[in-house]
Structure 1
Amino acid sequence: MLLADYAQVADGKLTVVGGGWSLTGPAPTPFGIAILVHVPWDQANCRHVLRLELLDADGQPVLVPAEDGGEAPIVFFDDLEFEVGRPAGIKPGTPLEMPLAVNSGPLPLAPGGRYEWRLSIDGEVDDDWRLGFSVRGEDEAM
Structure 2
Amino acid sequence: MIHGFLVLADSVSTDTSSGKVHMLGAGWSLTGPMVPPSAVAGFLRIPWDEAGRQVQFRLHLVDQDREPVKLLHDDGQSRAIVFEGALSLQNAQPADELSKNLPVNVSFGLSIPPLPLPAGQVYQWMFDIGETEVAAVQFAVRSQDVTVADEPHSGEPE
Map 1:97-136 → 2, pairs under 5 A: 97-126=105-134, 129-136=135-142
Is there any run of 5+ residues in structure 2 with no aligned partner, and where? 1-5, 149-158
TM-superposed deviation, 1:51? 0.3
Alignment match, 1:26:
33
Q: Deviations over 1:13-37 (max 9, x none)?
A: 0111100000000012000111011
Q: Which of 2, 8, 21 is 1:3 aligned to?
A: 8
Structure-2-length-normalised TM-score:
0.82
Superposed, 1:1-142 pairs within 5 Å as 1-10=6-15, 11-76=18-83, 78=84, 80-84=85-89, 85-89=92-96, 91-126=99-134, 129-142=135-148
Shift of 1:41: 1.4
Pairwise CA RMSD of aligned residues? 1.3
How far the C-alpha of 1:61 sits from its partner, in A, is: 0.2
Count of aligned pairs: 138
Secondary structure of 1:92's counterpart equals helix
Contact 1:40–1:93 (CA under 8 A) maintained in structure 2? no
SS of 1:60's equivalent in the other structure is coil
| CA drift at 1:66 | 1.9
Q: Quick one: percent identity of the two aligned structures?
A: 33
Tell me the CA shift for residue 87 of structure 1: 4.3
Greater CA radius of gyration, 1 or 2? 2
DSSP 3-state at the match of 1:42:
helix
Residues 63-114 of structure 1 deviation map (CA, whole Å, 9 limit, x = unaligned): 10123211000112x2x11112224435334200111001011000001011
Q: Secondary structure at the match of 2:93?
A: coil
- Structure 1 segments (4+ residues) deviating >6 Å: none
Distance in 2 (alpha carbons) for counterparts of 1:66 and 1:57:
22
